[in-house]
Amino acid sequence: MNLASEATAAYADPAREESRRRDTLPDLSRFLTAEQHRIHLVGVAGSGMSGLAALLIELGHAVSGSDKATTTETDRLQRLGLRSYDQHRPEHADAAELVVFSSAIKEDNPILLAAGGSGKRLLRRAEAVAAIMQAKRGIVIAGMHGKTTTSAMTAHVLREGGLHPSHYVGAEIPILGTNAHWDPRGEYFVAEGDESDGTLRCFHPEYALILNIEEEHLDFYPDLAAIEKVFAQLIDQTSGSVLYNVDDPDTARLCAKHKRAVSYGFSKQADYRGFDVELRHFGSSFSVCRREEKLGQATLNVPGEHNVHNALGVIALATELSIPFDKITTSLRKFEHARRRFEIKYASDRFLLVDDYAHHPTEIRATLSTAKSIGRRRLLAMFQPHRFSRTKALSRKFGSAFDDADRVVITDVYAASEAPIPGISGRTILDEIMRHGHRGMSYQHRLEWVHRDVGNLLESGDLVVSLGAGNIHEALEILAADLVIAEKLKAIVGEEGEIRLYEPLSKHTTLRVGGPAQFWVEPRSECAFAEVIRFCRDEHLPLFAVGRGSNLLVRDGGIRGVVVHPWGGDFEKIEVHGCEITAGAAVKLRQVAYAARAANLGGLEWMEGIPGAVGGALRMNAGAMGAQTFENVTRIRYLDAEGNSHVKNRDELEVFYRRFPLLEKNFAIAATFRGQPAERAEIDSRLRKSQEKRRTTQPVAKSAGCIFKNPASIPAGKLVDELGLKNSRVGNARVSEVHGNFIVNDGDATAAEILQLIDNIKSVARKKRGIELETEVEIVGEPE
């Protein structure tokens, strides 16, 4: 059997297909609901298929299933008796009398081929669900947007109304317990009807609730007319009432013709009309009347006007089923969302993170409008387009869907088993949004970096929403987990301190390269710094200190854990007492040189030529003009790995050329330098000499100062020069033509390029001169 051709034939000749189905339906219904059989499900991990598996198990069948993926839902079903296989092998379905397949399964699936060859009965998922429904009084909820929420709401209200409904919904529904359930006690079966593959026409329900009809799934349907045709057939096959959204013109036009059409909405002509809608942050209240009769007020604890609309449909249906209005409203008040429907992932006074399944422009607009109405300061969105076909077909509509968001980060398309379409990517939508005039857009093609881009934008008062039907919620979950830690760090550094997530370290290194710091922390006091150290120890978070970043090469993958940047406050204090100058770790060496000048102290002029601050200079015993830091140090103050502070005199410290081991595991707080009384003119002359040396021998460019330590035999700069490597480059990283020991960043050089250039120089020095160059610059972080 050829599934593709069968699907096409079904579409091309619906009448023939329909008559076949109608003839076999009672039979099939009995087979599925009144007898017990062996049934195999191909693609059992899909959200719809796992629901069907649950129903079949509850109906007493011996159910097996195959899928390449496993989910928490398949794990749960296995505990209930599902025999689950992670590959599609024909032998696993050999014993099955019936094979049901998801529309995501390709026609060359080995189980389907084998089953077709042996003449085994094969069914589409929707056909199976429709046949099960046939054993009850069926209620189908259909439409482009809001079906899962509305189906769940319906099942919940019927259940609270004591009707013991069975249900089948396409997502995890915490309030219902499971996505599908067979209740032998009740008469009704509530099912979410999936319009994506034309199988809506399988259903012959007693009630249909039609939410909205719009262009969607244009990979399957040629146009809106084809979609309407399928809905028209469902409406035609509905034996009882058709409840429909009168505010949607296409829906109204199709449904109003039905002999028992009942309308709902906000329009004056609605049979069930909502009015006096008051939207609150996470809910709403509204009044309802049925024609002339006022029914009363309802409250929802799920947000957004679109949900008021959905609830009106549910109220209309439940009232038609004779559930009293006060019972309906009590249930509605208790209703909680399905997973991924405006699901709150993090909430505090400062930040709110929400995940939503919206992936069609209309849904995105509704979700963003709801999010905006919550009234936080800014609205940031991250969006993962779903399917290449939808991205292509609806790109224009996506262009205007993001107006309510202040900033949007768009990532690449979630393929959902589709083959890529040339020229279609996340950029397609970005371009449309920009054409529409929105300025706050950016594109991040790597999904695993989206949370970084959004996280780094975060400011107190922001609401972040993740949008899409793929796996963008995972990015929001990472952000939420990191935000929990970031907020604890914020509590430590207080109002005056600063915390940023995923801060690009390229902003904080003089080379201007480096990936992000997972947590960028700026304490302003020694006490806060000590507490940050203790917090990291307790939470097992790596901790790394960055000062001016002048001697630092951070790899492109950035630094995991906390990067502490002691800045401002205590760390920028500078005091002169007699011949001693005490300076905090963040004080620039140049400032020390000029403070010494002001106090007529000599011997520290060389510091003028070093771009770093005190902390970094101590850590590497930096030097220039033949001098080095510890020649002038009398004592230092530091925090140990437990956050305890210590003061040590120079004679207690072990120091080497460009190396000071104590600060490899501890953190500098301040240092005291000693100068000698000197004539101002003499000091000025030495300062000028240093400036002149720097000006004439060193490049004015983005660099990390000298890259290599000077080997004993020859200064590294001279060696590189003699090797003829000046101006040699890897990408935008280049050896300076001014000084051979400087690598300069000519533009957007990456750490990888700089590291490659360093390696090239080392290998030439080794090969040609037998000299093993050692880097002076500190290299940290993870590769990309």
Among the candidate windows 149-157, 509-517, 523-531, 707-715, which touches ligand EPU by CB under 6 A?
707-715
Report the residue number, 275 or 656, with the smaller CB distance to ligand EPU. 656
**Phi/psi of residue 286, each to 5°?**
-160, 160
Q: Which two tokens stand for residue 93?
A: 């379905």
CB of 712 to ligand EPU, least distance (A): 12
CA-closest candidate to residue 599, choices 694, 673, 689, 650: 673
Listed ranges 319-327, 404-412, 581-589, 708-716: which one lies at the site for ligand EPU (CB under 6 A): 708-716
Residues in contact with ligand EPU, total (CB under 6 A)? 19
Per CB under 6 A, the list member of 205, 609, 616, 675 interacting with ligand EPU is 609
Q: Decide: is 622 part of the binding site for ligand EPU (CB under 6 A).
A: yes
Min separation Cβ 535 and ligand EPU, Å: 33
Question: Distance between CA 603 and CA 627 in Å, rounded?
Answer: 9
**Least distance (Å) between residue 609 CB and ligand EPU:** 5
Structure tokens at 36: 């017990």
Phi, psi of 38 (to 5 degrees): -100, 125
The dihedral over CA atoms of 236, 237, 238, 240, expressed in degrees to the nearest 10, equals 90
The least CB distance from residue 715 to ligand EPU, in Å, is 4
Give the integer Cα–Cα distance in Å for 100 and 112: 9
CB of 68 to ligand EPU, least distance (A): 54
Min. distance of Cβ 735 from ligand EPU in angstroms? 9
Instruction: Name the residue nearer to ligand EPU (CB basis): 232 or 625.
Output: 625
For ligand EPU, the closer CB: 362 or 775 = 775
Smallest gap from residue 625 Cβ to ligand EPU (A): 4
Burial label for 679, CB within 10 Å (0-12, 13-18, 19+), is: exposed
Nearer to ligand EPU, 442 or 691 (CB): 691
Q: Which amino acid type is present at position 16? A: R
Considering only 706, 757, 758, 764, the residue that binds ligand EPU (CB under 6 A) is 706
Determine the Cα–Cα distance for residues 98 and 132; give it in Å rounded to an integer.
Answer: 14
Of the two residues 90 and 715, which places its CB atom closer to ligand EPU in the complex?
Answer: 715
Among the listed ranges 101-109, 412-420, 701-709, 751-759, the one in contact with ligand EPU (CB under 6 A) is 701-709
Residues 6 or more apart in contact with residue 633 via CB below 8 angstroms: 618, 650, 653, 671, 672, 673, 674
Q: Determine which residue in the list 625, 653, 725, 780 makes contact with ligand EPU, applying CB under 6 A.
A: 625
522 binds ligand EPU (CB under 6 A): no
Produce one character per residue of 18-47: b if its CB has 16 or more CB atoms within 10 Å, e if not.
beebeeebeebbebbbeeebebbbbbbbbb
250 belongs to the binding site for ligand EPU (CB under 6 A) = no
**From CA 28, how far away is CA 25, in angstroms rounded?**
5
Taking the complex as a whole, how short is the minimal distance between the CB of residue 740 and ligand EPU, in angstroms?
A: 3
Minimum Å distance from CB 564 to ligand EPU? 23
The Cα-based distances of 159 to 154, 187, 548 in angstroms read 8, 11, 63
Please, which of residues 675-694 interact with ligand EPU by CB under 6 A?
Answer: 693
Q: Using CB under 6 A, which residues numbered 3 to 62 contact ligand EPU? A: none
3-class secondary structure, 94: coil
- Residue 710 binds ligand EPU, judged by CB under 6 A: yes
Contact call for residues 216 and 390 (beta carbons, < 8 A): yes
Interface with ligand EPU (CB under 6 A), residue from 515, 675, 705, 781? 705
| In contact, 367 and 356? CB cutoff 8 Å | yes
Q: Which is nearer to ligand EPU, 579 or 714 (CB)?
A: 714
- In degrees and rounded to multiples of 5, residue 564 shows phi and psi of -100, 135
Among the listed ranges 75-83, 159-167, 172-180, 618-626, the one in contact with ligand EPU (CB under 6 A) is: 618-626
Alpha-carbon distance of 611 to 623, in angstroms, equals 11
Give the span between the Cα atoms of 53 and 74, in whole angstroms.
9
Beta bridge partners of 440: none
| C-alpha 184 chain-centroid distance | 41
Q: How far is the CB of 596 from ligand EPU (least distance, A)?
A: 17
88 binds ligand EPU (CB under 6 A): no
Q: Which stretch binds ligand EPU (CB under 6 A): 339-347, 485-493, 520-528, 706-714?
A: 706-714
Q: Would you say 584 or 717 has its CB closer to ligand EPU?
A: 717
Q: Check binding of 624 to ligand EPU (CB under 6 A).
A: yes
Residue 575 vs 774, nearer CB to ligand EPU = 774
CA–CA distance, 179 with 340 (Å, rounded to integer)? 13
| Cβ contact 613:628 at 8 Å | no
Q: Which of 697, 748, 774, 782 binds ligand EPU (CB under 6 A)?
A: 697
Whichever of 18 and 631 has its CB closer to ligand EPU, that residue is 631
d(CA 491, CA 513): 30
Q: How far is the CB of 581 from ligand EPU (least distance, A)?
A: 21
Per-residue string for binding with ligand EPU, 713-752, x by CB under 6 A? --x-xx--x-----------------xxx-----------
Cβ distance to ligand EPU smaller for residue 418 or 722: 722
One-letter amino acid of 52: L
Taking CB under 6 A as the binding criterion, the range among 119-127, 224-232, 316-324, 705-713 that sits at the site for ligand EPU is 705-713
Tokens standing for residue 24: 């076999």
- Compare residues 32 and 719 and give the one whose CB is closer to ligand EPU: 719
Q: Both ends of the chain: CA-CA distance in Å?
A: 48
Residue 265 as a binder of ligand EPU (CB under 6 A): the answer is: no
User: What are the start-end ranges of the H helices in 436-494?
Assistant: 447-457, 472-493
Comparing every residue's Cβ against ligand EPU, the nearest one is 705
Measure the CA–CA gap between 200 and 82, rounded to whole angstroms: 27
Question: At a CB cut-off of 8 Å and minimum separation 6, what does 358 contact?
Answer: 364, 366, 367, 467, 468
Nearer to ligand EPU, 25 or 701 (CB): 701
Residues that bind ligand EPU (CB under 6 A): 609, 622-625, 693, 697, 705-706, 709-710, 715, 717-718, 721, 739-741, 776
